[in-house]
Amino acid sequence: METRSTCPYCGVGCGVIIEHDATQITGVRGDPDHPANFGRLCTKGGTLHLGMTPQVMAQRLMHPQLRSDKTAARKRVSWDAALDHAAEKFARAISEHGPDSVAFYISGQLLTEDYYVFNKLAKGLIGTNNVDTNSRLCMSSAVAGYKATLGADAPPCSYEDIDHADCLLIAGSNTAWAHPVLFRRIEDARAARPEMKLIVVDPRRTDTAEAADLHLAILPGTDIALYNAMLHVLLWEDLADLDYVRAHTEGFDALKALVRDYTPALAADICGVKAEDIVTAARWFGQAPAALSLYCQGLNQSSHGTDNNAAIIHLHLATGKIGKPGCGPFSLTGQPNAMGGREVGGLANLLSAHRDLANPEHRAEVARLWGVADVPAKPGFTAVELFEAVHRGEIKALWIACTNPAQSLPDLTRVHEALAKCPFVVLQEVSADTDTAAHADLLLPAAGWGEKEGTVTNSERRISRVHAAVPAPGEARADWRIVVDFAHRLESRLSQYGDTLFPYANTEDIFNEHRATTVGRDLDIGGLSYALLEQSGPQQWPLRAGAVFGTPRLYAGGVFPTASGRARFTSTQHQPLAEATDPRHPLHLNTGRLRDQWHGMSRTGVVSRLHAHAPEPAIEMHPRDMERRGIVDGDLVRLKGKRGSLLLRAAASNTLRPAQTYVPMHWGGQFMSGLGVNALTLPVTDPVSRQPELKHAAVQVEKFTVGWQLVAMRRDDEGGLHAALHPWLARFDHATLTLAGRDSTVVVLRAWGGEGSPVPSPDMLAELAAATGLDAPHMLAFNDTRCGIAKRALIEGDRLAGALLCNETRATDWLLDLIARGGSTADLRKWLFAPLATPPAAGPARGRIVCNCFDVSESEIRAELAAGLDLAALQEKRKCGSNCGSCLPELRRMAAQ
């Protein structure tokens, strides 16, 4: 059987076809009819069905669980008991401390209908605006930038504009990794029109930057100076469209006076790039008949993210390159439904259908639509503020849904402190194993991908239907259903409105109410229905009553949703970084994404093959910075910031400038010791958008001298071993807990002790062997207590099933390959019983897997290229890059090298 739905990862919003037998999901492929992807999927979307394996189901939350106090273990309870308890706690907090003593922290991964009922619950029923979302961490500067300049939170472009652009400016986005299917479209457009210019602005030479005609590797936080200087050149060289400016904008003269000072020479000095490159970028942008900009977290996650966004939008307004095919400022959303959340007003300062909380008429409209007396005027706490309020003790009951703030917020030590002391924390989640789950007093099992009904909106304002293919496992329920069931209980306790505010039997009822709130607004979907989505496919808003299809492009007539109908130029001045480097913290830390992982890895992290491209947590450093500190590639290093520290493996990288470092955002406390990179990031936020500066912190890196090391590897056919070994992460100076393997899952625990720290005792090794199932009677074991060397190997049938190594870990790659892929164990005994024997030559380690679809490793690709194959011949022989294409940019880079 087949069911159409969407991918739950990035904001490209690809359509998928789920293959299933009505009880189990068996496969997934791209939907050829979905306009976001036309059948394509990336490595993440293409492995969605693997999220239903025993390993994954073992970490699913199946039943509500409640603990009586912070020190007690959680126990399984019925849904009725769980929701009654939650309603009692919330009602008591509201009656004793007021509505603002409770809060909801939700997620851009919820569906629009889920989001809608959460928002109504907080603002309509309870009477608090304390509802914010993890979209605050990724999109709120884009929202604020659009509203400041264009008057509404509406990306004006479509993906099809990529096909028409003559100049494409990608800023603060590694599109090749973060939005891979969109990058395939960019590659196609460039192949069809080689004259198209690609400019990439990014401090790192990412795979996206590698593909550019011009890469501007600006210093962190200098975006505004660059775009102001580009505007300076556009004006100086008469490339602005002053007729458009006069007819359709306001505030230009003030900005013109401001950018007079931003000469290319000045900006070159601030940004650390060549002045002539700034001039070239401005000329390409200004001379192109159609120029499109794509941007993402590099602009948004900044203490001046709103101005970063405005500065790039100014280029479009000054040249009239907006509202036309191939033109416009196009913010890419990181999450699958960050847009839908914004549409229903699911943020602490917004109201339904892009209404403003600060506007009394808007509040009155929403109150009327909902049938409540009023909507409170006082803005709620935004994400970072919310957890500060929790820390201060102002929030007595906190409901978290579908997100992991204990990993994703900045300054994590303080967030963990806040969660630990919050009197009542509810977590509504799919996974039982997230860093936030440890703090939950009540865990509520939510339905996941393939199990839910509703709608989502992608980056190009396109609304798609999400369909359930199989029932949720255990007692898991749809998110909207959990909220409505809770709301009914709270209604009866607060007894303000009776049982009237949440009369929904299904998601379509919720969608229809949401639709009614949009009529007359910029995102009017008065003409949209579930039936139309089924019949005509995904549609872009607005789609007003009477319309048959959505709207691909906004502002074609040059009229903007501002009071005057004109777009606005704002004053964007270069601002220093919120945290400057200093002699004790001389390096810049940048954070971002990996190609094959998603957010906190609660879903991608349980699919073993998605670990293959980046198998271990690492910090990328410039070789010169490593040499200066006596660090070589692969060493363990301590990354120290002003708020925390982290141990990581160092990886030399020429994609960074000296003094820059890079750590992926994904690795958290489920996969390594410590809290993850956000232990070091700043809680400083943009003054308008309140988005935190997650892209930059000042740090130092020091070599960590290893005293001993240990590796335990075990095939995990039943699932559950990763969770069972998780407590071991806390028992060592540093440890990682990752997966390996392709068709079988291997759990890998690596641990290190510092110089002088005691070597793991025989008792501890025996305990670890028991925990990993490496204590069977027929186990091959070797111990040399004088040298502290221990080796164990377990053979099941004719295949190596697991191994444990202490202080002699040179054989790790060989053994891991044998466990994951099988192969002869003939040399095992000889190696095992000789304390310092060199591992058998099983060929070079395969290393990272570059092509996940066809399991082709970096070493294999390099060997083929060294043997004389060009890229086409390599692909012909190995098939790499010929399926999803996510690895193509990397293959091209390797071939070029």
Q: From CA 762, how far away is CA 775, in angstroms rounded?
A: 13
DSSP structure string for 147-201: HHHTSSS-----TTHHHH-SEEEEES--HHHHSHHHHHHHHHHHHH-TT-EEEEE
Q: Which of 4, 9, 162, 478 binds ligand SF4 (CB under 6 A)?
A: 9
CB of 9 to ligand SF4, least distance (A): 3
For 879, phi then psi, to 5°, come to 70, 0
Least distance to ligand SF4 from the beta carbon of 554, Å?
A: 23
Binding flag, residue 10, ligand SF4 (CB under 6 A): yes
The interface region with ligand SF4, picked from 11-19, 78-86, 470-478, 569-577 by CB under 6 A, is 11-19
Only one of the segments 179-187, 274-282, 477-485, 751-759 lies at the binding site for ligand SF4 (rule: CB under 6 A); that segment is 179-187
Nearer to ligand SF4, 622 or 666 (CB): 666
Nearest to 715 by CA among 745, 740, 671: 745
295 vs 704 by CB, closer to ligand SF4: 295
Q: How far is the CB of 40 from ligand SF4 (least distance, A)?
A: 7
Query: In terms of CB distance, is 14 or 804 closer to ligand SF4?
Result: 14
Stretch touching ligand SF4 by CB under 6 A, among 34-42, 245-253, 600-608, 623-631: 34-42
Shortest Cβ distance from residue 259 to ligand SF4 (Å)?
36
Contact 140, 148 (CB under 8 A): no
400 binds ligand SF4 (CB under 6 A): no
CA–CA separation, 815 and 819 (whole Å):
6
Query: How many other C-beta atoms can be found within 10 angstroms of the C-beta atom of residue 213?
Result: 15
Residue that is written with structure tokens 């909106």 in the block: 457
Compute CA distances 767 → 719, 748, 762, 833, whole Å. Answer: 20, 16, 9, 22
Are the beta carbons of 446 and 530 closer than 8 angstroms?
no
Part of the chain binding ligand SF4 (CB under 6 A), chosen from 6-14, 164-172, 558-566, 602-610: 6-14
Q: How far apart are CA 518 and CA 183, in angstroms?
A: 32
How many residues contact ligand SF4, by CB under 6 A? 14
Residue 42 CB, shortest distance to ligand SF4, in Å, is: 3
Integer Cα distance of 589 and 581 in angstroms? 10
**Shortest distance in whole angstroms from residue 19 CB to ligand SF4:** 16
Strand partners, 292: 168, 328
Residues in the chain: 897
44 makes contact with ligand SF4 (CB under 6 A): yes
- The answer to whether residue 162 forms part of the interface with ligand SF4 (CB under 6 A) is no
Binding segment for ligand SF4 among 174-182, 205-213, 703-711, 765-773 (CB under 6 A)?
174-182
| Bridge partner residues of 456 (DSSP) | 464
Identity of the residue, 118 or 159, whose beta carbon is nearer to ligand SF4 in the bound complex: 159
Alpha helix (H) residue ranges in 551-673: 623-628
Q: Give the number of other Cβ atoms within 10 Å of residue 509's Cβ.
A: 15
Which of the residues 274 through 333 are near ligand SF4 (CB under 6 A)? none
Bridge partners, residue 589, by sequence: 661, 697
Toward ligand SF4, which CB reaches closer, 181 or 697?
Answer: 181
Side chain identity, residue 515: R
CB of 46 to ligand SF4, least distance (A): 7
CB count, 10 Å around CB of 93? Answer: 22
Q: Is the dihedral of CA 299, 304, 305, 306 positive or negative?
A: negative
Cross-sheet strand order for the sheet of 539-540: 454-457, 462-466, 539-540
**Residue 298 or 380 having the CB closest to ligand SF4:** 298
* Residue 159 contacts ligand SF4 per CB under 6 A: no
| CB 338 to ligand SF4: min, Å | 12
Per CB under 6 A, 7 contacts ligand SF4: yes
Q: Which is nearer to ligand SF4, 31 or 385 (CB)?
A: 31
Using CB under 6 A, which of 5, 14, 103, 656 touches ligand SF4?
14
**Smallest separation, CB 735 to ligand SF4 (Å):** 29
Least distance (Å) between residue 502 CB and ligand SF4: 31
| Residue from 17, 25, 28, 41 binding ligand SF4 (CB under 6 A) | 41
Q: State in angstroms the smallest separation of the CB of 181 from ligand SF4.
A: 4
Segment lying near ligand SF4 (by CB under 6 A), choices 7-15, 160-168, 605-613, 855-863: 7-15
Check: CB of residue 570 under 8 Å from CB of residue 258.
Answer: no
* CB 18 to ligand SF4: min, Å: 13
Provide the phi-psi class of 358: left if phi over 0, else alpha when psi is between -120 and 50, else beta: alpha
Phi and psi at residue 156, to the nearest 5°: -80, 0
Residues 6+ positions from 58 with CB-CB distance below 8 Å: 718, 719, 720, 723
- Our CB check for ligand SF4 shows the closer of 431 and 458 to be 458
CB of 598 to ligand SF4, least distance (A): 7
Q: Which is nearer to ligand SF4, 5 or 308 (CB)?
A: 5
> Any contact of residue 42 with ligand SF4 (CB under 6 A)?
yes
Which listed residue (4, 5, 12, 77) binds ligand SF4 by CB under 6 A? 12
Q: Which residue is nearest to ligand SF4 (CB)?
A: 45
Residue 179 binds ligand SF4 (CB under 6 A) = yes
Residue number with CB closer to ligand SF4 (538 or 802):
538
344 binds ligand SF4 (CB under 6 A): no
The yes or no reply on residue 181 touching ligand SF4 (CB under 6 A) is: yes
Which position among 64, 145, 180, 669 is part of the footprint of ligand SF4 (CB under 6 A)?
A: 180
- Please provide the DSSP assignment of 731-777 as one string: GSSEEEEEEE-SSS-EEEEEEEEETTSPPPPHHHHHHHHHHTT---T
Nearer to ligand SF4, 37 or 349 (CB): 37
Confirm or reject binding of residue 601 to ligand SF4 (CB under 6 A). Answer: no
Q: CB–CB of 857/843 below 8 Å?
A: no
- Interface with ligand SF4 by CB under 6 A: which range of 36-44, 114-122, 378-386, 757-765? 36-44
Contact between 339 and ligand SF4 per CB under 6 A: no
Does residue 125 touch ligand SF4 according to CB under 6 A? no
255 contacts ligand SF4 (rule: CB under 6 A)? no
Distance CA 799, CA 812 (A): 16
Residue by residue, DSSP assigns 86-138 as: HHHHHHHHHHHH-GGGEEEEE-TTS-HHHHHHHHIIIIIII----EEEGGGGT
Please, which residue, 42 or 637, has the CB nearer to ligand SF4? 42
Torsion angle defined by CA atoms of residues 615, 616, 620 and 621, in that order, rounded to the nearest 10 degrees = -130
> Among 17, 18, 34, 37, which residue sits at the site for ligand SF4 (rule: CB under 6 A)?
37
13 binds ligand SF4 (CB under 6 A): yes
Over the range 36-54, which residues count as b (16 or more CB within 10 Å of their CB) and which as e?
bbbebbbbbbbbbbbbbee
Nearer to ligand SF4, 45 or 323 (CB): 45
Strands (E), 296-343: 328-331
Query: 450 vs 692, which CB is nearer to ligand SF4?
Result: 450
Q: Are 224 and 271 in contact (CB under 8 A)?
A: no
Q: What angle (nearest 5°) sits at the alpha carbon of residue 368, between those of residues 365 and 370?
A: 110
If the CB atoms of residues 753 and 885 are measured against ligand SF4, the closer one turns out to be 885
* Span from 3-11, 93-101, 473-481, 770-778 in contact with ligand SF4 (CB under 6 A): 3-11
The residue ranges that bind ligand SF4 (CB under 6 A) are 7, 9-10, 12-14, 37, 41-42, 44-45, 179-181
